[in-house]
Amino acid sequence: MRMAVVVTVMMKELRDLFRDKRTVRIALVMGPLFMPLLMLGIITMSEKRVNTQLEKPLDLPVVGSQYAPNLVKWLAGQNVNVLAAPADPDGEIRSQHRDVILSIGKDYPEDWHKGIPARVEIVEDSSRRDAEIPVERLERLLKTYSTTVGSLRLLARGVSPSVATAVRIAHRDLATPESKRGLALSFLPYLLILSSFLGGAHLVIDATAGERERQSLEPLLATPASREAIMSGKIAGACVFGLLALMLTLAAFKISFQLFPQSGTKLDVSIVTMLKLLLVLAPVVLLGTTLLTLIAASAKSVKEAQSYMSLLMLMPLVPTILLLVNPIKDQVWMFAVPFLAQNQLIMKLLRLEIVTAQEWAIYLAGGFGLGILLWLAAARLYHREKLAISA
Amino acid sequence: MIEVRNVHKSFTSKSGRVIAVDDVSFTARDGEITGLLGPNGAGKTTTLRMLYTLMKPETGSVSVDGFDAVRDAEAVRRRLGVLPDARGVYKRLTARENIEYFGRLHQMDEGAIASRIVLLSRALDMNDFLDRPTEGFSQGQRTKTAIARALVHDPRNVVLDEPTNGLDVMTTRSMRQFLEGLRTEGRCVIFSSHIMQEIAALCDRIVVIAKGRVVAQGTADDLRAQTGEDNLENAFVKVIGSDEGLHS
């Protein structure tokens, strides 16, 4: 295999691609621009929701407020906007008109006077995620009220309230501010991995399956250039393009997170981290292009090759979902598993955690090793007689 | 010189094994135009594909200037200029860039490529469209680009699969002159066609293929003598067994 031929093929593929201005614009401008905007939008939205739900007065319809005037009065002093009871409380929750409703039973005054825990009911729909914060707020307020009144009762009987507290629980949160921010960005790795995995997809499919469909692969294979060299040139061209798209995406991320620091996610976007991210994602580019070359060389048409795309788009999602369902802590073997490794590494880098030399070594060996294996497999497929023939 | 010896090739299709080429042998000499004539689907393209190493013959052998097409595939491709049945050009590149690309794949230096382009462009009358992107080219302009691309490395042996397919009368005429020029330069030219008149007008030797087999070969006079027919067309019909696919 001659390097000069590989370079010739690569340069031709890139020149051919860059003449197709519309495709280039979509791949290099839309992608990198759209992703950071989407990310920032989602982050800003979620923070805004949390803040407004935490800080604005809690609208709380109370059923049976006449049974517990003191509680209601206390609640009103705690940034709660007590509203009159609706006619059908359950219906209000079901129809999502209200996030949460407090219901006080008519036994409340009697139990209160007897000193039996008086019953109040929080009416909620626990499957509604946007109601989580109001429900939690109400519950915390009720607990505070209960403890306060309970302590006063004990004091009135000459008993220290601390007697009733056998264990005092305190949290010592070791999460660094950076790692807390990382939490909000659990889908960032997926977006980055996906864009590097399939960033050059159209170029790759076009370069093999498309070239055959346009009847130009047969003359190409009739030149003295070896099939490996032709294929390698095409893969190299797609890798260059994929890396370019990736660099632009990372640059866009860096700039947008620096422009909007108030989005609270002061992630580590230093040049060094961005370069490390590039190193983490480079094997994914190789993996994507070789895998797609393999598919495009074995598929009968461009259409067939493209129909694999929806499946491929799900592949990087698998580890993200697995980790969401079954969170496990970092283990060394994870750095050899494609997609899972990138996921872990990106999070580590953004959270400013240290990646050990061993983890880097396993990761890079695993990532590039698999890429080279796929490359060899694609080279074998490129030798099939059927490859060149479109009819 | 190109020698094809007893080559076989079959494919598996849904309906079973299809024999595409069955024991084909012929020799194409330098300074001659050898015509492969046969109806559509006779096995011409498959035979040529084995010749330019895109496919391997199951049995038999192909040699180009003494190099074996299976063992020395690269050396064979170096000595061949090929216009395949599939002749797509890159539509976002200009005709010149298309030709340059192939010159580089032949590892020619830029100066040699440029001077070959001047030569080929004159011979094929391509100056008007040489620097235009090939998108929107007429069939004739595309074919000329594909032929220039195939001959950029100045090969001794030239293989053209149906070069006049889809060309108008004027372009076909100039193509004929171009092929005659190649013969005068002493090259070995093979070209295939399903059009009898074309083969008769150009070829020194004719190989008639039908249903994957060589049914007759020789000069036009040989064929007339073999069949006892004065008219060449009748001679062809006789050897092929039907007049199917022999007209343009």
Domain-located, residue A225: yes
The answer to whether residue A376 scores a pLDDT higher than 80 is yes
CA dihedral angle for residue A140, residue A145, residue A150, residue A152, rounded to 10 degrees:
140
For residue A95, name the pLDDT band (cuts at 50, 70, 90). confident
Q: Flag if A216 and B90 touch (Cβ within 8 Å).
A: yes
Quick one: closest CA in A to B89, which residue? Answer: A216
The answer to whether residue A391 scores a pLDDT higher than 60 is no
The answer to whether residue B200 scores a pLDDT higher than 90 is no
The answer to whether residue A185 scores a pLDDT higher than 70 is no
Q: For residues B22 and B213, what is the distance between their CA atoms, to the nearest angstrom? A: 5
Tally of CB atoms within 10 A around A333: 11
> Which residues in chain A have their CB less than 8 angstroms from residue B97's CB?
15
- Beta-carbon pairs below 8 A across chains A and B: 81
Domain end, chosen from A105, A139, A164, is at A164
Q: What ipTM, to 2 d.p.?
A: 0.90
The answer to whether residue A78 scores a pLDDT higher than 50 is yes
Q: What is the mean pLDDT of residues B162-188?
A: 89
For residue B248, name the pLDDT band (cuts at 50, 70, 90). very low
H/E stretch holding B10 = strand B2-13
CATH number at residue A160: 3.40.1710.10
Q: What is the mean pLDDT of residues A180-189?
A: 61
Q: For residues A342 and B144, what is the distance between their CA atoms, to the nearest angstrom? A: 50
The answer to whether residue A260 scores a pLDDT higher than 80 is no
User: In the structure encoding, which two tokens stand for residue B230, read together?
Assistant: 């004065």
Domain-located, residue A77: yes
Q: What is the mean pLDDT of residues A86-107?
A: 87
Residue A85 is predicted with a pLDDT of 85
> Which residues in chain B have their CB less than 8 angstroms from residue A390's CB?
86
Residue B32 is predicted with a pLDDT of 94
Domain end, chosen from A164, A191, A211, is at A164
Residue predicted with more confidence, B245 or B98: B98
The answer to whether residue A390 scores a pLDDT higher than 70 is no
Q: What is the pTM of this model?
A: 0.79
Residue predicted with more confidence, A166 or B130: B130
A188-230, pLDDT tens digit by residue?
788 788 888 887 788 888 888 888 888 888 999 999 999 889 9
B contact set with A (CB within 8 A): 49, 52-56, 74-75, 77-78, 80, 82-93, 97, 101-102, 104-107, 133, 146, 149-150
How much is the mean pLDDT over chain A? 83
CB A332 within 8 A of CB A340: no
Q: For residues B90 and A16, what is the distance between their CA atoms, to the nearest angstrom? A: 8
Same domain, A104 and A151: yes
Residue A139: phi, psi to the nearest 5? Answer: -65, -40
CB A101 within 8 A of CB A87: no
Same domain, A376 and A270: yes
The answer to whether residue A147 scores a pLDDT higher than 70 is yes
Same domain, A230 and A354: yes
In DSSP terms, B63 is beta-bridged to B3, B68
Total number of domains in chain A: 2
Min Cα separation A41/chain B (Å): 38
The amino acid occupying position B145 is: T
Q: For residues A157 and A150, what is the distance between their CA atoms, to the nearest angstrom? A: 11
Q: Flag if A216 and B56 touch (Cβ within 8 Å).
A: no
Domain-located, residue A171: no
CA distances from A149 to A53, A81, A116, A144 (A): 27, 21, 13, 9
Residue A206 is predicted with a pLDDT of 87
CA proximity to A111, closest of A68, A64, A170: A68
Domain encompassing residue A357: 2-47+177-388
Q: What is the mean pLDDT of residues A291-319?
A: 86
Chain B contact for A221, CB < 8 A?
yes
The answer to whether residue B88 scores a pLDDT higher than 50 is yes
Same domain, A43 and A70: no
Same domain, A24 and A68: no
| Parallel/antiparallel/unpaired status of strands A101-104 and A120-123 | antiparallel
Chain B contact for A203, CB < 8 A?
no
Same domain, A245 and A131: no
Q: Flag if B74 and A224 touch (Cβ within 8 Å).
A: yes
Q: What is the mean pLDDT of residues A328-347?
A: 81
In DSSP terms, B207 is beta-bridged to B36, B217
In DSSP terms, B217 is beta-bridged to B207
Q: What is the mean pLDDT of residues A105-127?
A: 88
Q: Which of A3, A22, A223 to mutate to test the interface with B (most CBs of B within 10 A)?
A: A223
For residue A88, name the pLDDT band (cuts at 50, 70, 90). confident
Same domain, A234 and A321: yes
CB B116 within 8 A of CB B154: yes
Domain end, chosen from A136, A164, A192, is at A164
